[in-house]
Amino acid sequence: MWTLAALKVLRDVSKRLRLQKANEIRDFFGELWFAFMDSTKKEMKKHPKGFDYLPMLMQTDPKWQESDERKQPRPQAAQIYLSHAIFPGLLFKREERIVNGHLKLMEAVTKEDIPIETGWLTNDAVWPYNAAILAQVYLWLGKTDLARKTFYGFLNHASPLFAWREEQSLQDAADFQFIGDMPHNWASTECIRYLRHMMILEDEKDLLLFNGIGLREMEAQKTISLTYSPTKWGRITVSIEPVDSKTWITKFKREDFDDKTYAPIEFIIMPAKIGGKIAFSGATGTKAVRNADQIIIRAEDTQWECKWKKIF
């Protein structure tokens, strides 16, 4: 799946820039993709709770036949890589059965607000930064509350010095175990990436704003901002600034991009309401259109402002 995610990006870039081996890359991606998707027809498994999911070990792996059930692979083992393939890999559409099965599996194995037994330690143990990656999948899916809960679960499994070990026992485990280096910088990186993705998140062709911002962040009455953050569509500077207890202003700017070489962008998309109580109330410098629960803004407008109002 990592290879597919890399090939997908390389296929798109090579086509856009008319690179010499673009057709070979396209054909290789297609061959591998169709083989992978065909294999999922027989590799999907039925979970005891009734849903189908894609395990990371193939059906023929002898570990499934272990007589001791506790030595058999956990269904959720290594699902971190499927999270990667969903986001930021963008290999699947949101409604696909593989995505749905992954979400149901993660929900089924959640304890202490994060999925358990997803790595090498198989008895009441957690791989903390697996949760930070999963939280970003939830952001991409628009599941703001679940993303926040999962990310907080990840934060609550940090050491007293605010770093993370690769794997460790659940907090109330009688016999505490751990594995991996400490501090684990991948975990720290995922913490930063999640905080960035709360504000800006890159979809296939759209830039999504504020997918992780909720009522709690807005009512804190503090400015939330990102400055000159790199994206595949140029550098983004965006902020939410409180004016008073019922009004906020967003300022947006996109710069330093080249339409000839950069990937095409279609729209800037924001929620119509933040936290269910703070509603979009108009924009200047651009035209904003409401579509159901989203606000859609033309991407060619590279600098604009908008207001938010608390409605009750």
Rounded to whole angstroms, how far apart are CA atoms 299 and 246? Answer: 28
User: In this predicted structure, what is the pLDDT of residue 259?
Assistant: 86
Angle between helices 185-199 and 144-155 in degrees, nearest 10: 150
Q: Is the pLDDT of residue 73 over 90?
A: no
Query: How confident is the model over 179-195, as pLDDT tens digits?
Result: 888 888 999 999 999 99
Task: Work out the mean pLDDT of the chain and round it to a whole number.
Answer: 94
Contact between 194 and 131 (Cβ < 8 Å): no
What pLDDT band is residue 68 in, cutting at 50, 70 and 90?
Answer: confident
For the chain, the domains span 44-196, 203-310
What Cα–Cα distance (Å) separates residue 252 from each residue in 88, 203, 213, 228? 23, 18, 16, 11
Contact between 128 and 175 (Cβ < 8 Å): no
Query: How confident is the model over 231-242, as pLDDT tens digits?
Result: 999 999 999 999
User: In this predicted structure, what is the pLDDT of residue 69?
Assistant: 79
CA 60 to chain centre: 31
Antiparallel, parallel or unpaired: β 294-298 and 288-291: antiparallel
Please name the residues in contact with 229: beta carbons below 8 A apart, sequence gap of 6 or more: 196, 199, 200, 235, 236, 237
Rounded to 5 degrees, what are φ and ψ at 149? -60, -45
Q: Which strands form 247-255's sheet, in the order they lie side by side?
A: 224-231, 234-244, 247-255, 303-310, 278-284, 273-274
| Domain range 203-310, its CATH number among 2.20.25, 2.60.40, 1.10.10, 2.30.30 | 2.60.40
Rounded to whole angstroms, how far apart are CA atoms 282 and 238? Answer: 16
Kindly give the residue spans of alpha helices, DSSP state H, lying in 109-255: 128-140, 144-155, 185-199, 215-219
Q: Is the pLDDT of residue 123 over 90?
A: no
Antiparallel, parallel or unpaired: β 288-291 and 278-284: unpaired
Claim: this prediction has a pTM higher than 0.85:
yes
Contact between 180 and 130 (Cβ < 8 Å): no
User: What's 120's DSSP letter?
Assistant: S
Q: What angle do CA 6, 208, 4 make, to 5 degrees?
A: 15
* Cross-strand bridge partners of residue 282: 307
Give the residue carrying structure tokens 């009750």: 312
Contact between 279 and 311 (Cβ < 8 Å): yes
> What are the start-end ranges of the E strands in 152-302?
167-169, 178-179, 200-202, 206-209, 224-231, 234-244, 247-255, 267-271, 273-274, 278-284, 288-291, 294-298
User: In this predicted structure, what is the pLDDT of residue 261?
Assistant: 87
Rounded to whole angstroms, how far apart are CA atoms 156 and 230? Answer: 29
Rounded to whole angstroms, how far apart are CA atoms 243 and 308? Answer: 10
User: In this predicted structure, what is the pLDDT of residue 182?
Assistant: 85
Exposure string for 285-311, b = 16+ CB within 10 A, e = fewer: ebebeeeeebbbbebeebebbbebebe
Query: How confident is the model over 251-303, as pLDDT tens digits?
Result: 999 999 998 889 899 999 999 999 999 999 999 999 999 999 999 999 999 99
User: In this predicted structure, what is the pLDDT of residue 181?
Assistant: 83
User: In this predicted structure, what is the pLDDT of residue 278?
Assistant: 96
Amino acid in position 164: W
Amino acid in position 70: R
